A and B are shown apart, each in its own frame.
Chain A
Amino acid sequence: MGIFNKRSVADLGEKKKDMPEGLWIKCPSCGESLYEQALAKNLRVCTHCQHHFTLSAEERIALLADEGSFEEIDAKLDSVNPLGFKDYLGKVKAYQAKTGLTEAVLTGRAKIEGLPVLLAIMDFRFLGASMGSVVGEKITRAIEMATKEKCAVIVFSASGGARMHEGILSLMQMAKTSGALARQSEARLPYISVLTHPTTGGVTASFATLGDIILAEPKCMIGFAGPRVVKETTHSDLPPGFQTAEFMMEHGLVDTIVPRSEMRNTLGRLLRYLLPNRAAA
Chain B
Amino acid sequence: MKQVLEFEKPLVKTSEELDELRRRNNVKPSEKIALQIAELEKKFHRLQDEIYSHLTPWQRVQIARHTQRPYMLDYAKLCFEDFMELHGDRHIGDDNAMPGGFATIDGRRVMLIGQQKGRDTKENLLRNFGSAHPEGYRKALRLMRMAEKFSLPVIAMIDTPGAFPGIGAEERNIAEAIAFNLREMMTIRTPMVSVVIGEGGSGGALGIGVTDRVLMLENAYYSVISPEGCAAILWKDRKHAPEAAEALKLSAQHLMELNIIDGIIPEPAGGAHHDHTAAAQYLKAGLQTALDELASQSPKQLLAKRYNKFRAFGQFTEAA
What is the interface of chain A, defined by CB distance below 8 A to chain B? 1-2, 5, 74, 76-80, 82-83, 85-86, 132-134, 136-137, 140, 162-164, 166-176, 178-183, 185-186, 201-202, 204-210, 223-225, 229-230, 233-234, 236, 238-239, 242-243, 248, 251-253
Is chain A's binding surface mostly helix, strand, loop or mixed? Answer: helix
Asked if B311 contacts A140 (CB within 8 A), the reply is yes
Q: Select the stretch in B68-76, B181-189, B286-294 that faces chain A.
A: B181-189
Asked if A230 contacts B313 (CB within 8 A), the reply is no
Asked if B165 contacts A233 (CB within 8 A), the reply is yes
Asked if A185 contacts B167 (CB within 8 A), the reply is no
Cβ of B47 within 8 Å of any chain A Cβ, yes or no, is: no
Task: Name the residue of chain A whose CB is nearest to the CB of B232.
Answer: A2
With A168-B222, A168-B258, A179-B186 known as contacts, the answer to whether A5 contacts B233 (CB < 8 A) is yes
Counting chain B residues whose Cβ lies within 8 A of the other chain, the interface size class is 35 or more
Rounded to whole Å, the gap between the CB of B135 and the closest CB of chain A is 14
Interface pairs (20), CB distance under 8 Å: A80-B316, A82-B258, A83-B249, A136-B313, A167-B248, A168-B222, A168-B224, A169-B314, A170-B224, A171-B203, A172-B206, A175-B210, A178-B183, A179-B210, A179-B307, A182-B184, A204-B175, A205-B175, A224-B170, A224-B174
Asked if B182 contacts A175 (CB within 8 A), the reply is yes
Q: Which of A2, A163, A168, A183 is the one whose CB lies under 8 Å from B250?
A: A168
List 10 tightest A-B contacts by C-beta distance, closest first.
A225-B165, A133-B314, A178-B182, A172-B313, A204-B175, A224-B175, A209-B176, A205-B175, A76-B319, A171-B224
With A233-B166, A243-B170 known as contacts, the answer to whether A202 contacts B224 (CB < 8 A) is yes
Asked if B310 contacts A80 (CB within 8 A), the reply is no
Asked if B316 contacts A174 (CB within 8 A), the reply is no
Asked if B314 contacts A168 (CB within 8 A), the reply is no
Pick the most buried of A79, A172, A185, A208: most chain B CB atoms within 10 A of its CB. Answer: A172
Interface positions of B from 196 to 248, Cβ below 8 Å from A: 202-203, 206-207, 209-210, 222-225, 229-230, 232-234, 247-248
Residues on the B chain within 8 Å of A201, using CB: 203
Residues on the A chain within 8 Å of B224, using CB: 162-164, 166-168, 170-171, 202
Task: Name the residue of chain B whose CB is nearest to the CB of A200.
Answer: B175
Asked if B233 contacts A239 (CB within 8 A), the reply is no
| Distance, CA A267 to CA B180, complexed state (A) | 23
Rounded to whole Å, the gap between the CB of B169 and the closest CB of chain A is 7
Q: Which of B171, B184, B311, B317 is the one whose CB lies under 8 Å from A78?
A: B317
Asked if B260 contacts A1 (CB within 8 A), the reply is no
Q: Which of A74, A77, A140, A176 is the one whose CB lies under 8 Å from B317?
A: A77
| Distance, CA A204 to CA B165, complexed state (A) | 13
With A162-B224, A164-B233, A251-B173 known as contacts, the answer to whether A79 contacts B316 (CB < 8 A) is yes
Q: Which of B175, B179, B202 is the one whose CB lies under 8 Å from A171?
A: B202
Residues on the A chain within 8 Å of B314, using CB: 132-134, 136-137, 169, 172-173, 176
Contacts A173-B313, A209-B173 aside, 20 further interface pairs with beta carbons under 8 A come to A76-B320, A79-B316, A132-B314, A140-B311, A168-B223, A168-B248, A172-B310, A173-B314, A175-B182, A175-B210, A175-B313, A179-B311, A182-B187, A208-B175, A209-B179, A223-B170, A224-B170, A238-B167, A248-B173, A251-B172
Asked if A174 contacts B222 (CB within 8 A), the reply is no
Asked if B170 contacts A137 (CB within 8 A), the reply is no
Residues on the A chain within 8 Å of B210, using CB: 175, 178-179
Residues on the B chain within 8 Å of A78, using CB: 316-319
Asked if A169 contacts B315 (CB within 8 A), the reply is yes
Residues on the A chain within 8 Å of B51, using CB: none
Asked if A167 contacts B169 (CB within 8 A), the reply is no
Task: Name the residue of chain A whose CB is nearest to the CB of B171.
Answer: A251
